[in-house]
Amino acid sequence: MIVHLPIGLLESNCYLIVAPASDPARRAEAALVDPGVQDISQLMDKIHEHGTGVRYILNTHGHFDHIAANGRLELPGALLGIHPADRPLLLSGGGADLFGMPYVPSPYPTLDLNDGDTLLLGNDLRIEILHTPGHTPGSVCLYVPSDQALLTGDTLFADNVGRTDLPGGNARALTASLRRIMTLPQATRIYPGHGYPVTLAEARRINPWLRRLG
């Protein structure tokens, strides 16, 4: 189950990927994706509302509006993951200084999100890592086959794509990443880092960047 939490900085989206408990005596298990919030109380309320234990904190990339709560959260035992290519961006504040934004330093990540890796939640929920550089060198998408869901961070939005004019951006790499995403099943539901969810088929109709790629 994907829980959409539009509560982040700069209208960024945070998500919970929840694997329901198979045993009533156990809690559901979740991955918390892109906790880019300054006030963590609303985020913690949502975690408690769904009765989940958080196993992973996953950053799709290292920009401050997707990592802001990394250093504020107290989730014992949760592994913090990011692609190695975005580790320096994460540890330097995610570009918050460029926008005059205060930030709490993130802890050092304990999990590398490399292309082709698979993370497990609960008994059998799989999260597959797709390295999709372009917006940043270490941008990743998180594919959840059981939900036909792709969490795209700032690589792909419903009607736009991630900007490439910030340090580390690369338009050619982004184009290659978009082409890779377009090979997924058309019913795949896109959960972007900003804006609203759509299916990949819908995005291909309304997104001028994807239309241009055919």
* Contact by Cβ (8 Å): 7, 29: no
The alpha carbon of residue 23 and the mean position of all alpha carbons in its chain are separated, in whole angstroms, by 28
Residue 25 predicted with pLDDT over 70: no
Per-residue pLDDT, averaged over 104-120, amounts to: 96
Per-residue pLDDT, averaged over 47-75, amounts to: 92
> Rounded to whole angstroms, what are the CA distances from 69 to 5, 14, 33, 41, 100?
14, 11, 11, 11, 17
Residues 6+ apart with CB under 8 A from 56: 31, 32, 78, 79, 80, 81, 111, 119, 121, 127
Residue 3 predicted with pLDDT over 70: yes
Q: Collapsing DSSP states into helix, strand and coil, what is residue 101?
A: coil
pLDDT 10s digits, 63-110:
999 999 999 998 989 999 999 999 999 999 998 888 788 888 999 999
pTM of the model: 0.94
Residue 16 predicted with pLDDT over 70: yes
Q: What was the pLDDT predicted at 9? A: 76
Longest Cα–Cα distance of the chain, Å, equals: 51
Q: What was the pLDDT predicted at 10? A: 77
pLDDT 10s digits, 127-175:
999 999 999 999 999 999 999 999 999 999 999 999 999 999 999 999 9
Residue 49 predicted with pLDDT over 90: no
Residue 27 predicted with pLDDT over 80: no
For the chain, the average pLDDT equals 93
> Rounded to whole angstroms, what are the CA distances from 121 to 21, 64, 101, 152, 206?
10, 26, 34, 19, 33
Q: What was the pLDDT predicted at 23? A: 67
Could you give the domains of the chain?
2-213 (3.60.15.10)
* Contact by Cβ (8 Å): 200, 150: yes
